[in-house]
Amino acid sequence: MTAHLSCVRCPQTYPLMELRYRCDCSGTLDVVHDPSQFQLSTATLDARRASRSPMDRSGVWRFRELILPLPESDLNDCVVTRGEGNTHLYEAGALGADLGVPNLWLKHEGENPTGSFKDRGMTAGISVAKHLGMTRVACASTGNTSASMASYAARAGMEAVVFIPEGKIAYGKLSQALAYGARTLQIQGDFDDAMALVQDVCALEGIYLLNSVNPFRIEGQKAIGFEILQDLGWEVPDWIVLPGGNLGNNTAIAKGLLELHARGLIDRLPRMAVVQAAGANPLYTAWTEGADVVPVTADTLATAIKIGAPVSWRKSLRGLRALDGVVTQVTDDQIMDAKAQVDAAGIGAEPASCATVAGLKRLVSEGVIEAGAKVVGVLTGHVLKDPDVVVNYHTGDLTGIHALRANRPTVVAADLDAIREALRS
Ligand code: F0G
């Protein structure tokens, strides 16, 4: 075996395929790879991208040696893929200029099969579940993880159980969990309650846990960073900016970039900026105070990142330090304003994704990110995940939000002249 599990808090290690999510000391676990075990070049990765093989074409499994170093025959038996990844890296054009960073690209992870970046971690997690012979999988979710897990479990013929906070997830996401056939438990509590409960239920019921506390989810999500580099012809940007909720994604991207760098596939590292909603900001507080994360009660319109007790905070801080990172926070008003800009640019993304752009705006105005910097912002979820918030913004129905870019629908009589008159006004 060319990799093992290692505790982030103490020196304890475990075999790669041992069925556990935490160390005996309760610390979370990392997959530690052995770089001496294989050679991988950017030319090989580029050739795979052009290949017809489903494994090579997947924006996760193309990087398989860096994701799940099992023998190729084992991978062929266990990998469950929907061709995830291969998302657009949009040149932001006028939007970048508007934000004060003309060299801006937006990596749209909402273009994954179930509409969010979660599919990258989920293909890895479900494939490991299959390798381990698990038949039931579960997660707690603000919506996207559950949508993704429900879909991949269905493809793998597994039973899916999702724990979602009752009444607090966007409709697009709830509908996906139901549509893909997951047993859906609406927990009468918030995401943090659901997260605590699912860990206990999985342990008691022998269900495989697929939250990002599962180290293989993190391994799959590393591919966002790999693909950004590949999209840019392996030229390293100055900054990668992304939202932070449970903090798995920034942990993953940082870990992957450090591994690419250690193998000489890139010659330097980008800096990383993590953006939190001001109403769900435990990482921001810990970062600015130089302290450990202390859970908070979360409240934000960006329901995907409405998380007060992030599971991956320790790993997240480690990655941020290694990438000379920063953490910032933005209000819901700023998130919705940035969202209106991203949407009107014809790209569109859900609110949590647009924390990226709101945070970028703030960091540019503070001079942390310089105007000449080459910046990649990650948009994590599709605009249709949360249609209610879009309509409510544009009709001026979001309490506390100054909908300065509202594009109100016009009610008009079913009459040619009335319509022509409406078009002139
Ligand atoms: N953006 C979106 C659209 C998300 O769904 C999430 C997390 C994040 C950002 C934050 O990523 O948790 O890795 O820091 N959604 C999880 C879920 C929690 O259950 O779908 P993170």
CA 367/CA 131 separation, integer angstroms: 48
**140 C-alpha to center of ligand 1: Å?**
11
How many contiguous H segments (helices) and E segments (strands) does the chain have?
A: 17, 13
The predicted structure's pLDDT at residue 344: 97
User: What distance in Å separates the CA atoms of residue 329 and residue 338, rounded to the nearest whole number?
Assistant: 13
| Residue 295, CA distances (Å) to 169, 235, 238, 306 in order | 20, 38, 31, 12
Of all residues in the chain, the percent with pLDDT exceeding 70 is 100
The finding on whether 211 has its CB within 6 A of some atom of ligand 1 is: no
* Predicted TM-score (pTM) above 0.95: yes
Identify the pLDDT of residue 105. Answer: 98
From the CA of 245, how far away is ligand 1's center (Å)?
A: 6
Quickly list H helices, 63-143. 64-67, 72-78, 94-99, 118-131
**Atom nearest to 385 CA in ligand 1:** 3
Contacts of 151 (CB under 8 A, 6+ apart): 82, 113, 114, 119, 122, 176, 180
pLDDT, residue 172, reads 96
pLDDT tens per residue across span 335-382: 999 999 999 999 999 999 999 999 999 999 999 999 999 999 999 999
DSSP letters for 374-388 = -EEEEE-B-GGG-HH
Q: Mean per-residue pLDDT for 282-294?
A: 96
Give the pLDDT of residue 35: 79
More confident call, 2 vs 31: 31
Work out the average pLDDT over 90-98: 95
Average pLDDT over residues 55-82: 97
Q: Is 199 in the pocket of ligand 1 (CB under 6 A)?
A: no
pLDDT confidence of residue 167? 85
Residue 288 has pLDDT above 70, yes or no: yes
Band (pLDDT 50/70/90 cuts) for residue 425 is confident
Q: Which tens digits make up the pLDDT trace of 222-252? A: 999 999 999 999 999 999 999 999 999 999 9
Arithmetic mean of pLDDT over the chain: 96
Q: Region 28-49: what's the mean pLDDT?
A: 92
142 pocket-lining for ligand 1 (C-beta < 6 Å): yes
What pLDDT does 2 receive? 79
pLDDT of residue 1: 54
pLDDT band for position 397 (cuts 50, 70, 90): very high
Share of the chain above pLDDT 90, in %: 96
The pick from 112, 118, 190 for probing ligand 1's pocket by mutation, whose C-beta has the most ligand atoms within 8 angstroms, reads 118
Query: Above 80 in pLDDT, residue 82?
Result: yes
Using pLDDT thresholds of 50, 70 and 90, give the confidence band for residue 304. very high
Checking if the pLDDT of 422 tops 70, the result is: yes
Confidence of residue 36 (pLDDT cuts 50, 70, 90): confident
311 lines ligand 1 (CB under 6 A): no
Residue-wise pLDDT for 131-163, tens only, equals: 999 999 999 999 999 999 999 999 999 999 999
pLDDT digit string, tens, across residues 173-227: 999 999 999 999 999 999 999 999 999 999 999 999 999 999 999 999 999 999 9
Residue 95 near ligand 1, beta carbon < 6 Å: no
Q: Ligand 1: distance of its center to the CA of 211 in Å?
A: 10
| Ligand 1 geometric centre to CA of 380 (Å) | 8
Residues in the chain: 425
141: helix, strand or coil? coil
- In this predicted structure, what is the pLDDT of residue 383? 98
Token pair, residue 154, equals 């269905």
Is the pLDDT at 386 greater than 80? The verdict is yes
The response to whether residue 245 sits with its C-beta less than 6 Å from ligand 1 reads yes
- E strands within 265-340? 271-277, 326-330
SS3 call for 233? coil
353 Cβ inside 6 Å of ligand 1: yes
Indicate if ligand 1 lies below 6 Å from the C-beta of 304. yes
Q: Categorize the per-residue pLDDT at 168 as very low, low, confident or very high, splitting at 50, 70 and 90.
A: confident
